[in-house]
A = this chain, B = another copy of it.
Amino acid sequence: MDWNEKYIAVDWGTTNRRAWLVDPSGNVSARFADNLGLMAVPPGGFEAAAADIRQQLGPWPMLLAGMVGSDQGWQQAPYVACPASAKMLADNIVWIDDNRSGIVPGVCQTSGHPDVMRGEEVQAIGAVNGSLVSPDAYICHPGTHAKWIRLERGQIAGFTTMMTGELFNLLRTGSILSPQMQSEAVDGDPFRAGLDAAFSGASLSSALFTVRAQYLLSNRPGDGASYASGLLIGSDVRAGLAQASPGEEIALIGRADLTRLYALAIESAGHGYRLIDGDRAFLAGIAAIVPYLEKERIS
């Protein structure tokens, strides 16, 4: 495959996928997104699902990242260990589909606490490669499993996953707090009260129950979703910032609805932040990997 002409970059997650057609100068000439995430692909259906991408964007070589490389994805791409660079990601790509498609490996942390990521590594590498952050940035990437990623000299030196989004969803859908958590989590007094409780070091488990107690004592619905969100995001940010240098600016990458609440939390804790567009970082990450492919896989 010739990566010098055009290539397709695919961010293929659990619930959706996004694909871009990129030309040699890095410009995006076409793109699409759909809900055909891992959960929606039938067993054995990945080849057809990938063919569908080329149907829409053309017969180009393709680099894929995200959960598509997990054991439930198209093909498993084993994790590379921190510290991880663009070259290490390139060297450990799993080639499939007659070598026309490469799956970028995830990154794991084996020293310190055990941890894994899959997809965020491309955005983290891309943020520095695209000159969106310094080579020694500290990244906050909100999500179901939020990541705090330390870059050192442009490599992923270490990271920590927080189950913040998943805990919020579990509480909202299946807990005794569900009836008080049905509205959307938004900025306001309840969110900030949640932040305050988290920053004061309150126990998550007891502070969460005040949502229920408050409702029973006042018999008013309140805004438990925003309070719980403030509490969970505040705990997340508190733990994440404990690894930051004093006053260090945080690179915040992710969906606008989540980064807004995280930005508030980071600011409230006395740190600045820089908002990074996730798609732009992703494409810059793929662009950081491709040059190694040109050298090593000229066919």
Mark A residues whose CB is within 8 Å of B: 79, 108-110, 113-116, 145, 160-164, 166-167, 170-171, 173-176, 203-210, 212-214, 216-217, 232, 235-236, 238-239
Contact = CB atoms under 8 A, between A and B. Distances in A.
A173 B174 CA distance: 10
Q: What are the 9 A-B residue pairs with the smallest beta carbon separation, nearest first?
A: A203-B239, A114-B213, A162-B205, A161-B209, A170-B170, A116-B213, A115-B213, A163-B205, A114-B214
B116 A235 contact: no
A168 to B, nearest CB: 10
A167 B238 CA distance: 21
23 contacts: A79-B217, A108-B213, A108-B216, A108-B217, A110-B217, A113-B210, A115-B213, A116-B212, A116-B217, A160-B206, A161-B209, A163-B176, A163-B206, A166-B175, A170-B171, A170-B174, A170-B175, A173-B174, A203-B235, A203-B238, A203-B239, A204-B205, A206-B239
A21 B111 CA distance: 60
Nearest to A81: B217
A206 B166 contact: no
Nearest to A212: B116
B114 A208 contact: no
Nearest to A197: B113
Contacts of A163: 175-176, 205-206, 208-209
A232 B210 contact: no
A67 to B, nearest CB: 12
A235 B204 CA distance: 9
A175 B164 CA distance: 12
Contacts of A232: 205
Nearest to A177: B163
B116 A206 contact: no
Contacts of A204: 204-205, 235
Given A114-B213, A213-B115, A217-B116, A162 B206 contact: yes
A79 B239 CA distance: 37
